[in-house]
A and B are shown apart, each in its own frame.
Chain A
Amino acid sequence: MAINLKAFEENKQLRWRHSCRETFLALSEIDDKVDFVLADLGRVYNWEKVKEKYPDRVYNCGIAEQNAISACAGMATMGRKPFFATFAPFATLRVLEQIRDDCAYAELPVRIIGSDTGVAMPELGTTHYGIEDMAAALTLPNLLVLSPSDPIALAKLSEKLLDDPRPAYIRIHGGQVCNHIYSADQEFEIGKAITVREGKDAAIIACGNMVYNSLKAAEKLEEQGISVKVVDMSTVAPIDAEAVKAAAETGLVFTVEEHSIRGGLGSMVAEVMAEGGKGRLVRLGMPHKYISVVSSYDKMIGEMGLDAEGIANSITKELKK
């Protein structure tokens, strides 16, 4: 039985946090081994709605994430398919060893959702930003690292995980309204990038909510006669090296992520391109530093050049060189 995407198609104002809830509800409908595990941030994802429908499949572990991860591993040895969700730093940095030893090394189907990535909660400051979560996850062998670009992608990639034995880290944005890219009949495959826009003057490889901004940037550039390919690299690890090499054929590749430019998507693409020897790479993302002055989300993203205009400007600047 395939996942029911009605909730995702009907609600075009779905926020990322709530798409996490909807994903869990949709997965639970088709697989009774799925459990939703929380660490006192359940209300962020509207867990009440999940508890209402599946009271026996929701576990709140309280503010004790290391136990939550290892307990998920224990549950997975008994055939369960736990999905744990909390803010990105607590889902990765705080529990990295538990993920490493008990999920990645142990090769167990534990799925860890890190939400509110980047500066999704701008006013809360560095402790609550997801700047290094992907980099942390990417250090672990065996761990899938997924960064879906819209709610349909999140739902359908999660559906693929139901029949996949591998542990996974899935990063999603926060209270922001999701921008829709895909229709319900789009096919997704873990490990396969999707070219969402063709182009030949340059290529953008983006992940997560930055794919939408990249598409908007490409549209702006089209108006200036610049043709830019946009690739949705929803599986950051293992990276789709063929897709990277195809993008590198344009001669100029930009990576875009709401994450530090160090250690995330940019670094994964850099590995492929440096060894492939073709094309130049410019990494766009958050600067690799901690932030001490905060503003609204749009202002901070704009200042970091990660809105559509900023991405487009970076590209025209590079092409002029």
Chain B
Amino acid sequence: MASIKEIERVANKIRRDSVKMTFHAGGGHVAPVLGCADIVASLYLGVLRYNVEDPAWADRDRFILSKGHAVHALYSILAQVGIIKEEDNTYGDDDTRYIGHAPKNFPGIDFATGSMGHGPSVGAGIALAAKKSGSPARTFVLCGDGEIEEGSVWEAAMFAIKYGLDNLTVIVDSNGLQHDGAVDDILPYGDIESKFKAFGWDTTVVDGHDIEALIEAMNTVKEGVPRAIIAKTIKGKGVSFMEGQFNWHHGRFNPDTYKQAMAELGEEV
């Protein structure tokens, strides 16, 4: 497994790549990507089993980016691990297949997402089929904490318990913010951990920027039950003027803010 330092380096590049893509395109869901960069880096370097030579390997672990607007994280990590080429990234250009929500028919992307609340169910269906066929494939689903306001998420929660989907892990990127403001202002639903626990899931809370804790949490399986990991994160983590700001959910850089963001992330542009 890669070292923590290496995973931090990969996470930092996810952040820099998403800022670059967003600046180039004139706007994008940059803060959501910065918040989950550590989760995604940890998944790809410390948890998921996949084959770079054969991205469609039938028994690979699946990753469903249910918060599909954070797709830049995928465009970055898939290039970093070698499934796609960084120079093929045409995000923000005309005639591009690098779309603003996770697209279909894209090497390394297991399911097209973008509308909130579909991922847990899709993941549960994959996990069910994997279990039935005896495949060792594990399925990971990354949701936002605004996203779990969608009722279908809780339908999936019930379904996953019924079928004992211990090969399914849902990670909630919990930054307390959604598009229009704080979750506690928009739809104050209270504690997330107790909700998954109430549905019977094996649930844990971790620091979403602690790579070691993330990897340990994601590699833990409790027999017979699905797993929920509530990852406490800071939206926009890594760039001071974005941290904790809901209006950077979808933001745009000017040359000055771009330069500042990249500098804070360690790159001179």
Contact = CB atoms under 8 A, between A and B. Distances in A.
Q: Do A and B come from one complex?
A: yes
Interface of A: 56, 59, 61-62, 64, 66-80, 97-98, 101-102, 105-107
B133 interface: yes
Interface string B124-152: 11111110110100000000000000011
B111 A71 contact: no
Given A66-B152, A106-B104, A73 B122 contact: yes
A68 B135 CA distance: 21
A80 B131 CA distance: 12
Chief secondary structure at chain A's binding surface: helix
A57 to B, nearest CB: 9
B125 A72 contact: yes
A78 B104 contact: no
Interface of B: 104, 110-115, 117-118, 121-130, 132-133, 135, 151-152, 155-156, 158-159, 162-163
A1 B240 CA distance: 65
Contacts of B122: 70-71, 73-74, 77, 102
Given A64-B152, A73-B125, 14 more contacts: A59-B163, A67-B158, A71-B156, A73-B111, A74-B122, A75-B128, A78-B126, A78-B129, A101-B113, A102-B111, A102-B122, A105-B112, A106-B111, A107-B104
B126 A67 contact: no
B7 to A, nearest CB: 28
A246 to B, nearest CB: 37
21 contacts: A56-B132, A62-B158, A67-B156, A70-B118, A70-B121, A71-B125, A71-B156, A71-B159, A73-B111, A73-B125, A74-B128, A75-B128, A79-B129, A80-B129, A101-B112, A101-B113, A101-B114, A101-B115, A105-B104, A106-B111, A107-B104
Contacts of B104: 105-107
B155 A66 contact: yes
Contacts of A64: 152, 155, 158-159
A298 B90 CA distance: 61
Contacts, number: 91
Nearest to B110: A77
A87 B191 CA distance: 36
Nearest to A61: B159
- Among A70, A72, A75, A97, the most chain B Cβ lie within 10 Å of the Cβ of A70
Nearest to A97: B115
B126 A74 contact: yes
A10 B233 CA distance: 63
A49 B124 CA distance: 26
A51 B170 CA distance: 30
A277 to B, nearest CB: 36
A102 B111 CA distance: 8
B161 to A, nearest CB: 11
Contacts of B163: 59
A69 B117 CA distance: 12
B125 A70 contact: yes
A301 B124 CA distance: 42
B144 to A, nearest CB: 17
Nearest to B133: A78
Contact of B118 (A56, A76, A102): A102
A98 B111 contact: no
Contacts of A73: 111, 122, 125
B112 A71 contact: no
A79 B152 CA distance: 23
B63 to A, nearest CB: 13
A71 B162 CA distance: 13
Nearest to A76: B125
A75 B126 contact: yes
Nearest to A63: B155
B155 A75 contact: no
B14 to A, nearest CB: 25
B130 A78 contact: yes
Contacts of A102: 111, 118, 122
